Amino acid sequence: MPPPWSNERASDKDRSNLAVNPQGPPFLEMRGIVKRFPGVLANNGVTLAVGHGEIHALLGENGAGKSTLMQILYGFHQRDAGDILIEGRPARIESPKQAIALGIGMVHQEFMLVHSMTVVENAVLGLNLSIRRLLDLKRAAAALQALSDRHGLAVDPHAVVGHLPVGAQQRVEIIKLLYRDVRLLILDEPTAVLTPQEKDGLFAVLRRLARDGRSVVIVTHKLHEIMEVADRVTVMRDGRVAASVRTSETSPRGLARLMVGRDVALRADKQAVARGPAVLRVENLAARDAAGETRLHGLSLDLHAGEILGIAGVDGNGQAQLAQALMQLCPVTSGRVWIGGQDVTRLSPAGRRAAGMAYVPADRRHVGSVAELSMIDNAALGTQARRARAGGLIRDEGADRGFAKALAARFSVRAAHLGQPAGTLSGGNLQKLVLGREMMREPAILIVEQPTRGLDAGAVEAVWGELLAARAGGMAVLLISADLEEILNLADRIAVMSGGRIAGTLPAAHASAERLGLMMAGAPAPDAQPLAAVEASA
Amino acid sequence: MGAGHWLGSAFLATWLAASVRLSGPVLLAALGEIFAERSGVLNVGIEGTILLGALASYLAAYASGDVWLALLAGAAGGVLSGVLLAWMYVTIRASQVVAGIVFNVLAVGLAGTLYRLALGASAAPQTVAMFEPLRFPLLSGLPVLGPVLFSHAAPLYLAFALVPAAHFVLFRTGFGLALRAAGENPKAADNAGISVARMRYAGTLISGTAAGMSGGYVVLAEVGLFRETIVSGQGFIALAIVILGRWRPWTAALAAVAFGAADALQLSLQLFGAGLPPQLLLSLPYVLTILAISGLFGRSAAQPAALMQPYAPR
Amino acid sequence: MTPVVVRRPGPNGSPAAIAFHTALAVLAALALAGALFAVQGADPLAAYAALFSEAFGTMRGFGFSLVRATPLALIALGTVVAWRSGFGYLGFEGCFMVGAAAATAAALASAEGRMLAPLPSWLALALAMLASFAAGGAWAGLVGLVRTRLGANEVLVSLMTNYVGLLGVQYLISGPMRAPGGLPQSERVPSDVWLPFVIPGSRAHAGILLTVAAAGLVWFLLRRTPLGYELIVAGLNPAAARYGGIEVGRRVLLASVLAGGLGALAGMAELLGVQHRLVDGMGGGVGFTGVVVALLARLNPLAVVPLAVLYGGMTVGADAMQRGAGIPSSIAAILQSLIVLLILASERLRYYRLNPSLFRLGRDRAGAAPGRPAGP
C-alpha cells in the first residue's frame, strides 16, 4: 500500500516484489569517493556497491571513514570527487531530503525522534507543512500498522515514542523510512544500544526487508554480527577500502586482520620498569551514564605503580563510565574503590584528586579545559586553591603564572602567550596542556582516556613519551584507548572491555592486534586468562 | 459587610463577569506565546510587544475612530516587534532571554517617544473610541449568566474563539506538528526536512501578532487611553499562564480565567470591603507558577525540550 | 557571482575586531536615536550635546546622574555575579523591592522610642544595609535552591518572583507598614539613618561610594580569589568544573545569594538615599535596565560603574530635555537598549569577513577558493 502522501510517486509498482533485473545495475554504486576535511583525508577513492535485496556490512575502526562515506550518501556532506549512481543513474544528493526522495534513508546512532510525540506523528513529520492541509493521522496510522504487520516490526502507531524501549524506538526509525518508501536503509551501529534479544529481532526484520527487495547497509565493527546477518562486507581502513568480500568467503579472523592490520607507523621506545605495589583497587564497580543507562556492570581491577594498564575496546562499551566512575563524575550504583589502601568510595571528585588521582578526559575541549579561559587559568583547574595566599583566600597570580609557564616549558605547549584562551590551542597543544597539568601534580594514579585521538603524529609521539616517562617515574597509569596500536605500544597489561565488563586480560607480550580485535568484537578468546592469573604470571 | 454579601448573587455576578473580562488580554498574549514556546523560543519580549501593540491601536483609533481598524493596527505593531525579536532570536541567535528583556526596555522607550511624537508633548491624555459591550437578545438579560457570559466586548469573544483555533492548528495540522518538532528536537526536525528557523520565525511572529492584539485589547476594550504604564506585567503573566496551562491552549484558557478571577476577586473584595489582603490573592498565581516550574505538580514533561536553545543548522 | 562576504569558521575575536564592531553598533544606535531627534525638529548633534551636558556638565546634573547610576550599578553587579556563575537570574525588580523593604524596616526600628533607638546612627545604618543584603540574599537564594535542588529553570522562576516581591511590598505599605494618612506608603525613615549626601550642592548620596566599593569587591572576588575562579569555571563549563573538583551546585547557590544581596542593596540605596520612605513602584524598571548595563559592560565588574553613570546620565539628560525642549525623556531608554541590541547583533557580524578572493583580482581563482590545508 502506497503511503497516503505520495500521489506523484509510482504507486502502481508492486511493493511486495520490487521488480529487479538480476543482470541490471546494483541499486547503489559509489565510485572513487573523495572527501577531505581540514587536516584529514576522510575518504580516499572509496568504491561501494550494494545490490538489490542485499544486506551489506561496512566495517572499520573508529576514524576509518565509514561514517563520512554514509554521511555523503545521505546528503549531510558533499563529496569532493567521485560519483554516486542509483540504479545506474548518476545522482545528486545535497540534502537528506534529496536522499530520501532517491529512496535512501538512514537510521542514525542517535535516533532522530521527538520523544513527546506518538509514533505516527513522528512518521508523518515534515511530510506536510501546510497549515491548511489537515493531518490525517488515522490514515497514516493505518498505513503504519500495515507496514508494521507486514515486516514484523511490532510497532504501535499510537504509542508515545519516549515511553518505548530503545529497541522499539529503533524500529520506529525503520518504519519511518518504510513509510517514506525508502529502498536502501543505512543503519549506523544499530546494535550498539540493543540487548541480545532485541538484536535478534532487528536481524529478523532486516532479513525480511532484504527478501522484499530492499537493500540494507549496516555500519559496524562487530565481526560476529556481520557474519550472522550480512551478505557482503566492505572493510574500510584509513579512508580506503581494504577489501570487499562475500561473508560466505571469509571468517571473523580474516575480517579482524583486514580491519586492524595496518602498518604500524609509530613505535614507542619502552624501557623495562619494575612493577611496584598495587595503588588502585576496584571491586565490582557499576555505574550509569547521564541518560540513566547502566553502562558498567560490576567491574574489578588492580593497578600497580610503574605500570600502564591498557583498557582496549570498541567505543561505548563502558570505558567512559569506568574513567568517570573512578573520578566520581557519573552516578555510581555499587562497588568500592581503594587508593593505596585508603577506601575512597565515598569521596567527591575533589577528594579523589586529593587522594592522588589525576584524569585526562577524552573530551579535552569540553571537559578537560575551559575554552574561554586563558592557559594560566586552565593550568590551575583542579589546583585553584593550592597556590593561594592568605589561607587560601587570595589567588597568587605570580605563582599561577609561574606554574603555567613551567608546565608549558616542560611539556612544550606551544602558544603565542600564556594568556591565550585554551579554546584557540591546537588539539595537540591542548592535550599537552591537560596532560601536563595532571602530571605536574605528581599523582599516584593517572587515568588517561583516548589520549591521542585526533592528534597528528608529532603530538602522538609527545603524548606517548610523557606517558612512558610517568610510568618510569613510578606512576600507575590506566590507559583507556580504542586505538589498538596505542595500547600495544604502551601497555604492560591489556584488559579488553566489552559490554561494560572486562572480557579478558593479557600480558602485553601475549597480545596481538588480531587477538585483541577478536576479543573486542566479543568473540571468545580461548586462552585469555582471568586477571588474577595474569597478575601471577607478570 | 457580612458573609451574606459575599455569597450574594450580586457579588458573584460582578466577580465572575470581571474574571472573564480581565482574562481576555492575557489569554490572547498567552495563546500566541504558546506558539513561540512550542517552536523553542521563550519570547520574553511579549511584554514590550503588548505595549507597542497598545500604542499602535491607540494611535489608529485616535486617527480613524474605527475600533476594528485599531485592533488590526495593534496586530501590525505586534508583527513588526515580532520581526525584530525573531531576527534576534533566530538569525542572530542571541540569548533569547537577553534579547527579550532588552527589547522590553526598548519598547518602553519607543512607546513613550512615539506617543509624544504623535500627539505633541503637551497634549492632555485623550480618550479614544472603544469597543462597546455586545448585547445578545435574551441571553444578556439572563440573571448571573447574562452579565458573566453575554455582556462583553467583541475582542473577548475573539480571544476565546482563538482557543480552539490555536488547539486545532497546533495539534491537527502539519504546520503545528512541524512547529512542535522544532521546539522539542530541532535536530530531528531538521533531519525530517523542516526548516527550524522558519518554524521559529513563525512561532515568534504568531506570538508577536497576538501580543500586539492583546495590547490593542487593553486600550480599546478596557482603558480607552494610552499611558506607558497601562502595560505592567501582562506579558509576564502570559508567560506564567503558558506554564500553568502546560503549553496547551485549553488549559491556558483555564489558567487565564484563574488569573482573571484572582485579579477580579481582589477588586471585588476591595469593593465589598473584606479584610483579606488583595496582594495575597494577586500573588497566588505567580506562586503557583513557581511551584509548577519547580516540579511540584510532577515533572513538567510538557515543557518543550529545546526551549531557549538557539539552533544552528549543520 | 563571487559573494562579497564569506563566513569565517569562528568569530573574529581580536580586540581590534571587537572594538570596531562595538563602535559600529554604538554609532548605529546613536544614528537611529538621532533620527528620532531629527523627526521632532531637533538637530541631533545639538540634542546629544544638550543631553550629555545636562548629565555631566554641571555638578548638580552630575549628582543626579550618580543618584540614578547607583541602583543601576548595584543591580548590574548582581547580574555580573549571577550570570558569570551560570545563574540566569532576572529577579532584580523583586530583589530591589525586598531590599528596600528590609532597609525600611530596619531604619524605622531605629526611630525615636523604637527597639533600635539606642544604637548610634552609623550602626543603625550599617544594620539597615545588612538587613537589606540578607533579605535579598535569602530572596534570590531561594531561587538558587529551587534551581540546584529541583532543577527548575531559574530564568522563569526569577521572573515570577518579581511580582511576588512587588505585591509583597504593596501589601506592606497598605497594611503592616502603612503610615497614617491617605497614601499607601510607609513612614519616613529618621534622617540620621539616611545615606549622607556626599557632594555639596547635589543630591548625590553615599550610595555611589558603596557602589564603587562593591564593584571593586566583585572584581576582586571574581579575578583574585580561588572562590571566584570556581564561580567562573562553574558558569562557563559545568562539566569541566565538576571534573576539576568544583562543587557546581554550591557555587551556584552562593552566586544566587550574592546577586540577590547586591540587588537588594540597590533598593536600600534608593530608599535611604532618595525616597526615604517605602512607596509602590519605586523601582520603575531599574531591575531590567541594570541587567542591560551589565550586558553592555560584558559582565566586567570594573566597567559597570562608569557605564551605569553613563546610562544614569542619559536618563537625567533626557528628563531635562523633556522639561526644556519637549523632547520625550523615553528617548533615553531607546538609546540604552538599542546600543546593547546592536552590539549583540554585531557579534554575529564578526562571523563574517570580506571575501578575500575579491582582492586577488582574478589571480589564482581556482586555488583561492578552498583555503584548507592539504591532507596528510
A285-296 exposure pattern, b = at least 16 Cβ within 10 A, e = fewer: bbbbbeeeeebb
CA separation for the pair C363, C312 (Å, rounded): 54
Region C42-59: what's the mean pLDDT? Answer: 87
Q: Which of residues 453-492 of A touch C (CB under 8 A)?
A: 456
CA separation for the pair A107, A179 (Å, rounded): 14
State how far residue C221 is from chain A, nearest Cα, in angstroms. Answer: 9
State how far residue A329 is from chain C, nearest Cα, in angstroms. Answer: 7
Interchain proximity A395–C229, CB inside 8 Å: yes
How many C-beta atoms surround the C-beta of residue B250 within 10 A?
Answer: 13
Q: Pinpoint the alpha helices (H) of chain B.
A: 3-7, 9-38, 46-64, 67-86, 96-119, 145-149, 154-172, 174-184, 186-191, 196-217, 234-244, 249-272, 278-293
Cα C288–chain centre separation? 7
pLDDT tens-place string over residues A467-480: 999 999 999 999 99
A108-142 exposure pattern, b = at least 16 Cβ within 10 A, e = fewer: beebbbbbbbbbbbbbbbbbbbeeeeebbbeebbe
State how far residue A115 is from chain B, nearest Cα, in angstroms. Answer: 8
Region A293-303: what's the mean pLDDT? Answer: 90
Of the candidates C109, C258, A441, C158, the residue with the CA atom closest to the CA atom of residue B294: C158
CA separation for the pair A177, A162 (Å, rounded): 19
Residue of chain C nearest B240, judged by CA positions: C160
- The ipTM is 0.86
Contact with chain B for residue A116, Cβ under 8 A? yes
* Burial of residue C200 (number of CB atoms within 10 Å: 0-12, 13-18, 19+): exposed
Identify the CATH number of the domain in which residue C266 sits: 1.10.3470
Residues C257 and C142 in one domain: yes
Residues C20 and C70 in one domain: no
Interchain proximity A394–C246, CB inside 8 Å: no
Specify the 3-state DSSP secondary structure of A394.
Answer: strand
Question: What order of strands is seen across the sheet that includes strand A493-498?
Answer: A357-360, A445-449, A476-480, A308-312, A493-498, A501-507
Query: Which helix (DSSP H) or strand (DSSP E) does residue B39 occupy?
Result: none
Region C39-67: what's the mean pLDDT? Answer: 88
CA separation for the pair B257, B33 (Å, rounded): 16
Residues C347 and C298 in one domain: no
Grid cell of A361 as nine digits: 578526559
* Burial of residue A300 (number of CB atoms within 10 Å: 0-12, 13-18, 19+): middle
Provide the number of CB pairs (under 8 Å) joining chain A to chain B.
73
pLDDT of residue A538 exceeding 50, the answer is: no
Please tell me the CATH superfamily of domain A53-67+103-260, with its number. Answer: P-loop containing nucleotide triphosphate hydrolases (3.40.50.300)
CA separation for the pair A131, A495 (Å, rounded): 58
Residues C321 and C353 in one domain: no
Question: Which regions of chain A carry the CATH code 3.40.50.300?
Answer: 53-67+103-260, 263-356+443-538
Rounded to 10 deg, the angle between the A427-440 and A457-472 helix axes is 10
- Is C341 inside a domain boundary? yes
Contact with chain C for residue B242, Cβ under 8 A? no
Specify the 3-state DSSP secondary structure of C5.
Answer: strand
pLDDT of residue C361 exceeding 70, the answer is: no
pLDDT of residue C71 exceeding 90, the answer is: yes
Interchain proximity C295–B98, CB inside 8 Å: yes
Q: Which residues pair with C106 in a beta bridge?
A: none
How many C-beta atoms surround the C-beta of residue B199 within 10 A?
Answer: 27
- Is C373 inside a domain boundary? no
CA separation for the pair B206, B202 (Å, rounded): 6
Contact with chain B for residue A113, Cβ under 8 A? yes
Which of chain A's residues have a Cβ under 8 Å away from the Cβ of C225?
A: 388, 393-395
- Is C359 inside a domain boundary? yes
Residues C67 and C6 in one domain: no
The number of folded domains in chain C is 2
Interchain proximity C156–B287, CB inside 8 Å: no
Residues C321 and C357 in one domain: no
Q: Which CATH fold topology does A263-356+443-538 show?
A: Rossmann fold (3.40.50)
> Which residue pairs from C244-248 have beta carbons closer than 8 angstroms and sit at least 24 positions apart in sequence?
C244/A349, C244/A381, C244/A382, C244/A384, C245/A348, C245/A349, C245/A350, C245/A351, C245/A353, C245/A382, C246/A350, C246/A384, C247/A348, C247/A350
Residues C12 and C108 in one domain: no
- CATH of span B3-293: 1.10.3470
Q: According to the model, what pLDDT value does residue B50 have? A: 97
pLDDT tens-place string over residues A399-443: 999 999 999 999 988 888 899 999 888 888 999 999 999 999 899
Parallel, antiparallel or unpaired: strands A308-312 and A294-304: unpaired
Residues C2 and C136 in one domain: no
Region A520-531: what's the mean pLDDT? Answer: 54
pLDDT, averaged across chain C: 87
Pick from C168, C291, C336: CB nearest B279: C168
pLDDT tens-place string over residues A142-171: 999 999 998 888 899 999 998 888 889 999
CA separation for the pair A209, A215 (Å, rounded): 8
CA separation for the pair A381, C4 (Å, rounded): 43
Of the candidates B165, B167, B162, B196, the residue with the CA atom closest to the CA atom of residue B179: B196
Q: Pinpoint the alpha helices (H) of A180-299.
A: 196-211, 223-229, 252-260
Distances (CA, A) of A236 to A263, B67, B231, C200: 14, 71, 65, 82
- Is C351 inside a domain boundary? yes
Residue reference for cell 518572583:
C161
Q: According to the model, what pLDDT value does residue B192 have? A: 86
Interchain proximity A115–B189, CB inside 8 Å: no
Which residue range(s) make up the domain with C336? Answer: 1-42+327-365
CA separation for the pair A438, A485 (Å, rounded): 24
Provide the number of CB pairs (under 8 Å) joining chain B to chain C.
137
pLDDT tens-place string over residues A5-40: 433 333 333 334 444 555 678 999 999 999 988 767
CA separation for the pair C302, C252 (Å, rounded): 22
The more confidently predicted of residues A162 and C363 is: A162
Cα C44–chain centre separation? 27
Specify the 3-state DSSP secondary structure of C1.
Answer: coil
Q: Which chains touch B (3 or more CB pairs under 8 A)?
A: A, C
Q: Pinpoint the alpha helices (H) of C109-153.
A: 121-150
Contact with chain B for residue A124, Cβ under 8 A? yes
- Residues B264, B214: contact at Cβ < 8 Å? no
Residues C179 and C239 in one domain: yes
Region A517-528: what's the mean pLDDT? Answer: 61
- Is C370 inside a domain boundary? no
- Residues A58, A218: contact at Cβ < 8 Å? yes
Segments of A173-293 assigned E as strands: 184-188, 215-220, 232-237, 240-246, 278-288
Judged by average pLDDT, the poorest of A56-70, A521-535, C335-349 is A521-535
